[in-house]
Amino acid sequence: MAKQSVDALIEGGKATAAPPLGPALGPTGVNIGLVVAEINKKTGDFKGMKVPVKVTIDTETKEFEISIGTPPAAQLIKKEAGVKSGAANPLTEKVADLLIEQIIKVSNMKQDSLLGNDTKARVREIVGTCQSMGIMVEGMSAADALVAIAEGKFDAKIASGKTELTAEELKHQEEEKIRLAGELAEKKKVFVAEGNTILKLMEGKDVKKIRQKMTESGIPMTVVNELAPAEEKK
């Protein structure tokens, strides 16, 4: 059973029979219209993004498979959340709050590389990634969101397949992101003040002991690294 593959870079949801895809598929004898429709279905959530697409064709039966190359889930989550990075300490810091529609969107985008057999299972995988990044879901911690999903709280929304947010939802999300950023800034002020107090009290002492005291006091490593001199490498 001979296989032939065609690779192309397509704008999400906007594949056509025009170059580069059409001319590359033509010699294979595959139904180009069906391929284009399937690609647009699989890449619809990648609007505005260039997506690498691979079409593998059985040269005898003309059946085809489409695989989509996508960025890591964490990168897609950050894009949806509008943040540059996840939390330094996901257990104590929260940097953004996503709606379940956005989680569904990311799960659809990563469908080919996730283990779940259905949308609900794949949504749980994406929420699990949110948990490691300090990203909330529907106003709750990712851990609580996983419980809510298991209890069926979001079954109707998952079944609907809705992935786009209204203007009001986007506005609320932006306001929430600003609020969380403000909370993090206030927490950092407290940690910096505590760290400077430790520095003053332990002035002249071994750097390693100073850093240890800071971490024992619950000061995040990012703040410790900002305040305490780096340990000299031997």
Q: Determine which helix (DSSP H) or strand (DSSP E) holds 97, and give its type and residue range.
A: strand 96-98
Class of domain 3-68: alpha beta
Residue 220 pLDDT grade (very low, low, confident, very high; cuts 50, 70, 90) = confident
Give the per-residue pLDDT at 100: 96
Give the per-residue pLDDT at 139: 93
Ordered by start, the domain boundaries in the chain are 3-68, 73-165, 184-227
Residue 234 pLDDT grade (very low, low, confident, very high; cuts 50, 70, 90) = very low
Give the per-residue pLDDT at 232: 55
Class of domain 73-165: mainly alpha
Question: Mean pLDDT over all residues of the chain?
Answer: 90
CB 103 within 8 A of CB 129: no
User: HSE (CB half, 13 Å, CA atoms) of 177?
Assistant: 18
Per residue in 106-160, pLDDT tens? Answer: 999 888 888 889 999 999 999 999 999 999 999 999 999 999 999 999 999 999 9
Same fold: 3-68 with 73-165: no
CB 220 within 8 A of CB 191: yes
Return the DSSP state at 140.
B
- Percentage of the chain surpassing pLDDT 70? 97
Sequence-ordered list of residues with C-beta below 8 angstroms from that of 67, at least 6 positions apart, any chain:
53, 54, 56, 112
Per residue in 39-80, pLDDT tens? Answer: 998 888 888 788 899 999 998 899 999 988 888 899 899 989
